[in-house]
Structure 1
Amino acid sequence: MTRNWGMTIPFYDRSLARSRELIAELPGLGYTDAWSAEVNGVDGFTPLALAAEWAPGIRLGSAIVPVSTRGPGLLAMSAATVADLAPGRFVLGIGASSPAIVERWNAGSFTKPYARTRDTLRFLKKALAGEKVTEAYETFEIKGFKLERAPKTPPKIVLAALRPRMLRLAAEEADGAITNWLSPADVRKVRAEAGPGTELIARLFVCVSEDTDKVRELARWMLASYLTVPVYAAFHDWLGRGEILRPMHEAWAAGDRQAALKAIPDEVVDDLIVHGDAATCRARIREYVANGLDTPILAPIPGGEIPIDQAVRDLSPKAAEADRA
């Protein structure tokens, strides 16, 4: 069993303000990590700053903060702040994100996503080490930036990586790779690209429920909203799901959302969403680990027979240890 077992914060059924007590429970339940996300809810740093106080000792990570929605200097300042609050236990996860988030929602420019991510990584490694940075990168230029107070322990930096080129960049220049929306079998293919020495991290969406039909209905909405995003469509083409997902993509492109949902096969839902009773879910998570995943980040989703707070407890490392007893 992996030594890392993460949880997504805040939780899907409550605000950050209402998450304090459950976040504080995580270390006692055996969780080693708490990871934020940044889409259109909370930002990626505030939950980690609060969790540094609410759950002392736990590793904190962002999965992920986009590289094109903040300037490089601001990104360095935010990362340095959390690194100062949680010395040696903050991991900065960055990634290209998507055109919708960068351009439509944040009025940015989603151009050369690989190069922008690479350049941001290289800048952050210098800036967070306390260096004064003056450098012309391919996608931006920095003139004389230096953190007023660099963290005593610079955070590790990991990259959102879905396909070989970014996975290789993560392996060669970063401290790990974060992936998403994959099956246990897919982990082997991703691991082969990342190499054996790279920490491989993935968010796993979990619904503790034995009502398979209900789970599949809920999950199809989530899958359609992600898998139609170009980067995820390309990811699943690479994983070998191009043909089986083609009807969904065609219906979505035609504007027929209901037909797109119906076109997602049951086996794809079951591959990409962890569901069943708590013991079945824990066993499924262990399959990911057995196939090469170092750090599962669980994301319990509403809709199951038990509330989210109980799911957090039932999916915990402490509960998983009981399976082996």
Structure 2
Amino acid sequence: MTGRFGITIPLDGLPLSEQAAVAAELAKAGYTDFWSAEGNGTDGFSPLAIASVAAPGVRLGTAIIPVFTRGPGVMALSAATMAASAPGRFVLGIGTSSDVIVERWNDISFEQPLQRTRDMARFLRKALRGERVDEEFETFKVRGFRNGIVPEVAPPILIAALRPGMLRLAGKEADGAVINWLSADDVLKIAPYVHAGGPDKEIVARIFVAPTTDAAKIREAARRHIAAYLNVPVYRKFHEWLGRTELQPMWDAWDAGDRKGALTAIPDSVVDALVIHGSPEECREHLARYVSNGVTTPVISLWPTEMGPLEAARALAPRD
């Protein structure tokens, strides 16, 4: 592979107090990008702030910050602060997240997700340029807001997308898309929707990677994650749209309350398509397929193996 090669930070299993040193080492190993996420671990901005100082040449991105869990003004403040701290190196990825995170964990209504994402992207374009925003959008209104910090370089905005509506939105309203939980071949179906919005669109893919030859152990762990994620409505609809009919027995068992049956119904072929595993070289070859099919920035999300997280990151680092 050539070009960008990213990794998700912070590395799981290592204290946050050690992440600055980790970031410096990963930069030396050849990673061009560090991307954070925001679920039930760290927030999306703090790990990037740590890395921005420790690895001054690396690009930093959020994949993603939910558009429901921060108000527009707070979102703009956080993004502007990060962009001003790392001029020209920050990419803001936003998205709906899921009804689980938004409604169950944060007690916020998960309504009109596409419209909310569109409105947030439009608001942020103005706010991050330092404009005064006094506008009523479809899903929220902002009265007389102006960012006190205007970044030297306004960050690109990416939108997390799964199905056609959001993919088109990412191409039309943003600088590209953030995608996840998909196979290398699935990228061929997704990329045209994003590129229909114009040239030079970025497609960032968060990809689960486990550098280990213990396939049985990884498949067992991966089945639990696949069952947990792909029964969340937004992800189930995504894979139904992709045509992944081989997951129907899992969905049927899950709907019937048979959790054990749901796990055993997930075929190896689906696990192997969605979670990369094998030797480090085999993993890099599989990642290269994502790039060949249209991903501009692959971002590995390390899966726990017999290797420690830093050792695994070193093993997967890009090769010339």
TM-score norm. by structure 1 comes to 0.95
* Map of 2:75 onto structure 1: 75
CA deviation after TM superposition for structure 1 residue 172, in Å: 1.2
Q: Deviations over 1:182-218 (max 9, x none)?
A: 1111111111211263111110101111111111001
Q: How far did residue 287 of structure 1 move?
A: 1.0
Specify the alignment match of 1:165 in structure 2.
165
1:117-132 residue pairs with structure 2 within 5 A? 117-132=117-132
> What is the distance in 1 between the residues matched to 2:231 and 2:19?
31
Q: CA contact under 8 A between 2:84 and 2:149: conserved in structure 1?
A: no
String of CA shifts for 1:132-173, please: whole Å, max 9, x gaps.
Answer: 001111100111110112112111110001111111111111
Deviations 1:208-261 (A, max 9, x none): 1111111100111111111111111111111110x2111111222222221111
Give the residue type in structure 2 aligned to 1:202.
Answer: A
Preserved CA contact (<8 Å) 2:5 2:297: yes
> Would you say 1:89 and 2:92 are equivalent positions?
no
**Aligned partner of 1:56: which letter?**
P
Alignment correspondent of 1:315: 316
What is the alpha-carbon distance in structure 2 between the residues aligned to residue 305 and residue 83 of structure 1? 37
Deviation at 1:75, TM superposition (A): 0.3
* Aligned residue pair count: 317
1:230 and 1:17 mapped to 2: Cα distance?
A: 36
Q: SS in structure 2 opposite 1:182?
A: coil
Show the counterpart of 1:267.
Answer: 269
Q: Which residue of 2 aligns with 1:251?
A: 253
Query: 1:70-219 to 2 correspondence within 5 Å?
Result: 70-195=70-195, 197-219=200-222
Contact kept in structure 2, 1:49 and 1:82, CA below 8 Å: yes
Contact 1:178 1:202 survives alignment (8 Å): yes
RMSD: 1.1
CA contact (8 A) 1:4 1:294 kept: yes
Q: What does 1:38-77 correspond to in 2, within 5 Å? A: 38-77=38-77
Corresponding residue for residue 37 of structure 2: 37
Shift of 1:69: 0.3
Partners of 1:83 and 1:151 within 8 A in 2: yes
How far 1:18 sits from its partner (Å)? 2.9
Residues 4, 99 of structure 1: alpha-carbon distance in 2 compared, 3 angstrom cutoff: same
Partner of 1:25: 25
**1:311 is paired with a residue of what secondary structure?**
helix
Aligned to 1:271, the other structure's residue is in SS state: helix
Percent sequence identity over aligned pairs: 55
Structure 1 Cα separation of the partners of residues 2 and 139 of structure 2: 37
Post-superposition CA distance 1:11-47 (Å, at most 9, x none): 1222322322221112211111000000011000111
Over 3 Å counting, the alpha-carbon distance change for 1:240 and 1:92 in structure 2 is: same
Q: Is the 8 A contact 1:208 1:305 kept in 2?
A: no
Q: Which moved more, 1:86-95 or 1:193-202?
A: 193-202
Q: CA deviation at 1:6?
A: 0.3
Please tell me whether the aligned partners of residues 38 and 44 of structure 2 are also in contact (alpha carbons under 8 angstroms).
yes
Q: Please, which runs of 5 or more residues in structure 2 have no aligned partner?
A: none
- AA at the equivalent of 1:58: V
Unaligned residue ranges in structure 1 (runs of 5+):
none
Question: Counterparts of 2:129 and 2:119 in 1: how far apart (Å)?
Answer: 16
User: What TM-score do you get using the length of structure 2 for normalisation?
Assistant: 0.97
SS at match of 2:207: strand
Rounded to whole Å, the distance in 2 between the matches of 1:305 and 1:271 is 21
Q: Which amino acid aligns with 1:245?
A: L
